Structure 1
């Protein structure tokens, strides 16, 4: 498949990861971007993961990767990051820090690579799908490969 040239795709290639690219028609009016991606690609939402940038106290950022249908357990990520508390980062700060636009934030190839926390639901799956670095582009990858490449901490982060 031809390179899409996003920093995420370039980072995956540079790390020697085995992955597939998947594209869909991004709908900026979708209520839930990740669920829209899963539906557009004909995938079970349980295998499609969203990337959330989290503001930790005191003053740090982290990256959480959880299933698109789930909500992030802010207490769990704060505890894992040894922070007093956690909240979702301001979208403008997330964009400046990662170099990606909201709706296209990937855990791979961030401008400033943040610590990554991957939900434990990814374990045991042959493949998960994460954002490929732009709206409408997804990367299908083995979760173990993704976790190793990003030095991710794997733990339960998602709540229904």
Structure 2
């Protein structure tokens, strides 16, 4: 029996959570701005899923709008720790089952806690969909509710 693809894992998890997602092609995107152009949306509607490592070895997902960057002091304060870091690509793959550029909390091999920037509330957003050259669209509020995400200010402008 073969392992499900990243897309299949995303679709199965979305269905199990009652989330309505739309998966679309974004073949050949060379940057976040280029992906936004291909998808016909503003870069702020693309949400980057960052894998963040605790010093205890566990992880969390940080959902960051494309026009913003993570604010380490804000995220550390919300999580209640004094040290967080971004793991290298190999560790991120081991923690989620997804390679960089395809990471999403949907279908992750381990269901890590989700922290999301409040600026994505009330929007239709695009995220990685588990495989290269595809993205998914989802209602941010439904996504955040499905993961019981901690929603607060965890970013700053680029």
- The structure 1 residue matched to 2:89, chosen from 77, 88, 91, is 91
Whether the aligned pair in 2 keeps the contact of 1:6 and 1:132 (CA below 8 Å) is no
d(CA) in 2 for partners of 1:17, 1:83:
31
What's the RMSD between the two structures over aligned residues? Answer: 1.6
Provide TM-score, normalisation by structure 2.
0.88
d(CA) in 2 for partners of 1:56, 1:47:
27
d(CA) in 1 for partners of 2:55, 2:77:
11
Q: Could you say which residue in structure 2 is the equivalent of 1:150?
A: 147
In structure 2, the residue corresponding to 1:6 is in which secondary structure? helix
Provide TM-score, normalisation by structure 1.
0.87
Whether the aligned pair in 1 keeps the contact of 2:25 and 2:135 (CA below 8 Å) is yes
In structure 1, the residue corresponding to 2:28 is in which secondary structure? coil
Q: Could you say which residue in structure 1 is the equivalent of 2:15?
A: 13
d(CA) in 2 for partners of 1:35, 1:85:
30
- Structural mapping, 1:1-160, within 5 Å: 5-27=7-29, 30=30, 32=31, 34-125=32-123, 127-160=124-157
Once superposed, which parts of structure 1, at least 4 consecutive aligned residues long, lie more than 4 Å away? none
Whether the aligned pair in 2 keeps the contact of 1:95 and 1:101 (CA below 8 Å) is yes
Q: CA deviation at 1:116?
A: 0.6
